[in-house]
Amino acid sequence: MQYLKKIGTLTTLLAATMAFGTETALAATVKVTMHAMETTVKIDNKGTEYPAWTFGGHIPGPVIRVKEGDIVDFELINDATNKESHSMDFHAAVVDVLKEFAPVKPGETKRFKFDAKYPGVFMYHCGAMPMHQHIARGMYGIIIVDPKEGYTKEYPKPDREYVLVQGQFFPKADDHHAIMENQGWTNTLINGKIFHYDPVHDPAASLALVAKPGELVRIFYVNANVNLPAAIHPIAGIWERVYPSGNPRNVLYGISTYSMGVADAATLDIVSPKDRATNNAIVDHTMGAAMRGAITVLMNTPDADPKMGKGDNILPR
């Protein structure tokens, strides 16, 4: 027993050394710069304009993608032309809310670093007050932290990947009291637009998610609603696997509808039938949200554009 214990200790030490060595060798510092921009965006497929507050001029902000163990060296530039203070709150970071996440005045810049310690998918958002208004006006996005061990049997390599970030649209952008009370929201935004990828319900929609029959499609989903949970279901399909918070160690199988609280995120895998062309409608099954814009069509056809859902094309705009 004593011998086994010793071997065990040695193995643990060796494993720790190896892990540390590997991490040191592979850990990278990833520099991320974002501009807080108070600017006009188009919130539907017809081009309706809205006075948004954004990271980088779009709702959602840029997709940040790093690897577990990387150090994110982040810089937030609050342009001098802005009127409001803004900040950055990465849900992937373990830092000090009063330091790293503190507001930045117009014309100022803030820089901080954090260790991307946990793999998964996480919301990021502005935390300047009134926070609910900054989120409602569009200051949110997704950070993906890929697992350091890469793909495994339980977390297989997907054929395509897509990002879907859901938000609530409040047309009265200045009424932050109403936003707090969840009053006056008229629509749901998917990647910043109402029925963004749904040519079935909006003839003005020119985009849909695409894949080939039988491909493994991985969806990175963030619920950036201000006040409402979301119930994500792929109509005419079942999630093959769901990874709560996107962590490959959290695996659920054969899920019809996966519920996400506010600010929650998940990775959801779906595989369509191999022998025929089909469509799925990925919805927030909360009907009031679906009918207000939270329907995304996934077309599974043999002629699917080979570039969609790959590399930089995981958030089609």
Report, in Å, the least distance between residue 86 CB and Cu ion: 3
| Residues 6 or more apart whose Cβ sits within 8 Å of residue 47 | none
Binding letters toward Cu ion, positions 216-255, x by CB under 5 A: ----------------------------------------
Contact window for Cu ion (CB under 5 A) among 19-27, 63-71, 83-91, 93-101? 83-91
- Residue of minimal Cβ distance to Cu ion: 126
CA distance 87 to 80: 14
Binding letters toward Cu ion, positions 138-177, x by CB under 5 A: -x--------------------------------------
Report, in Å, the least distance between residue 131 CB and Cu ion: 8
SS3 state of residue 252? strand
Phi/psi class of residue 169: alpha, beta or left (left: φ > 0; alpha: ψ in -120 to 50)?
A: beta
Told to check if 88 binds Cu ion by CB under 5 A, we report no
- Which residues lie across from 44 on neighbouring strands? 194
Contact 213, 276 (CB under 8 A): yes
DSSP E strands: which ranges in 191-291? 209-211, 216-223, 230-235, 239-244, 252-255, 258-260, 265-271, 278-284
Told to check if 86 binds Cu ion by CB under 5 A, we report yes
Contact window for Cu ion (CB under 5 A) among 122-130, 141-149, 154-162, 295-303? 122-130
Of 84 and 269, the one with the shorter C-beta distance to Cu ion is 84
Opening angle at CA 98, ends 34 and 109, nearest 5: 30
Told to check if 134 binds Cu ion by CB under 5 A, we report yes
What residue ranges bind Cu ion (CB under 5 A)? 86, 126, 128, 134, 139
